[in-house]
Structure 1
Amino acid sequence: MSPEARRDQLIDLGLAMVRERPLEQVSIDAIAEAAGVSRALLFHYFESKQDFHVAIARAQADEMLECTAPDTTLGDPIAMLSGSMSAFVDYVSDNRAAYMAFMRGSSSADPAMREVFDQTRAAMASRVLDHAPALGIAVTPVVEMTVHGWISFVEETTIGWLTEPVITRDQLLGLITAALPALAGVVGDL
């Protein structure tokens, strides 16, 4: 197996494990055993357990960004937003344990993990801001700030729904999808 393929295999095994248990419980020994390699070999690819956990978080963020990419063939920015939010809710529902662990677990306070979260949020914000002009909204510093705040709103609202689903999935989607144009429209005049 090539070094890159082995590293990818180890990350994939970590992703599979984090879907079943909190990140803090994904041990180097369990990954090495599942991969059929020595613990020392795992440390050849990752400097530390923390480095491995960050690689898992980055892979999960990349996976989420890929599956929530806007379908630009739809043309309508609201339809693209709705499709992306539907994919996001499905992704975090399917990966509930991992998503909750990354967002609320002890690793969420780690600077390297925060960097992964911040880069992911920046990519999400960039997607939204790229399509704002099609809605007649000029991208200003206030609009940029609002989009970043909306992303936090989506994350917190989705976590609340995962924890205690007092509304339906469709109601959740309606809420998070409608919130962005409503916020952007209000602040667009500031």
Structure 2
Amino acid sequence: MPDRRPRRTDPGRRDRIVDACLDVVVAHGVAGTSHRRVAEAADVPLGSMTYHFAGMDELLREAFGRFARTVSDEFERRLGAAADADDARAAVVGLVSDVAGTRRDLVLTHELYTLAAREPAFRDLTTAWMARSRRALERHFDPATARMLDALIEGLAVHRTLDRPEGQGPYDAALLADAVARITRA
């Protein structure tokens, strides 16, 4: 009987692939994301890609789903900690400045929006993401105001991505605080 090599176990492999997929999307865009690039970035054999995911769409849905949940969790955490409307306004300013302000998050958000504009499965993901954001905002503001704040946040993400090279440079938090205050005035 031939010697059997012990089977290599790698319980974190699937998660590593998903995380690597997001890194590859940031570096190369969705159009430049391939099984080969993701496998290399995750340091896994190419065959692992088809073992864990039926195709690139499934991997991208999983990766963007994880990204959207992470951002939404932080959004809910910060707004949930706000004791009143003033704290909620400050939380919105902080979210735009801190969470939605990293180059990585801005690039991933735009790549997801582009997919959502064309693909219903990704549109469902962004619709759920926006609904979660609005529910968190509605803890402190009426539904119409929450919708306007959500649009401000999303619009600022677009501007921040396109206004500044590489997503770097100063950002006027006072102007943002003024915009949030104007929208949330009774």
Query: What one-letter code is carried by the residue in structure 2 that aligns with 1:66?
Result: D
1:154-169 matches, cutoff 5 A = 154-164=153-163, 168-169=171-172
Corresponding position of 1:188? none
Is 1:93 the counterpart of 2:101 in the alignment? yes
Judge which range, 67-76 or 43-52, deviates more.
67-76
1:117-156 matches, cutoff 5 A = 117-132=126-141, 143-156=142-155
1:8-157 matches, cutoff 5 A = 8-68=15-75, 69-70=77-78, 72-94=80-102, 95=104, 96-103=106-113, 105-132=114-141, 143-157=142-156
Gaps of 5+ in 1: 133-142, 186-190
TM-score by length of 2: 0.76
The CA RMSD over aligned residues, in Å, is: 2.6
Deviations 1:43-88 (A, max 9, x none): 2222210111111111111221233322544522322332243223
Is contact 2:101-2:157 (8 Å) kept? no
TM-score by length of 1: 0.75
Q: In the aligned structure 1, how far is the partner of 2:118 from the partner of 2:37?
A: 24
CA 1:119–1:164: 2 relative to 1, 3 Å: same
Gaps of 5+ in 2: 1-9, 165-169
Deviations 1:96-143 (A, max 9, x none): 32222223x3454211111111111111111111223xxxxxxxxxx4
Is contact 2:130-2:150 (8 Å) kept? yes
SS of structure 2 residue aligned to 1:19: helix
Larger Rg: 2
Deviations 1:140-189 (A, max 9, x none): xxx42442243123212331233125x9431442244224413xx3xxxx
CA 1:40–1:179: 2 relative to 1, 3 Å: farther
CA 1:162–1:32: 2 relative to 1, 3 Å: closer
Is 1:178 the counterpart of 2:186 in the alignment? no
CA 1:61–1:88: 2 relative to 1, 3 Å: farther
Corresponding position of 1:137? none
SS of structure 2 residue aligned to 1:23: coil
Deviations 1:11-69 (A, max 9, x none): 11112222333122221111112233333321222221011111111111122123332
TM superposition shift of 1:91: 2.3
CA 1:110–1:176: 2 relative to 1, 3 Å: farther
Q: In the aligned structure 1, how far is the partner of 2:54 from the partner of 2:174?
A: 44
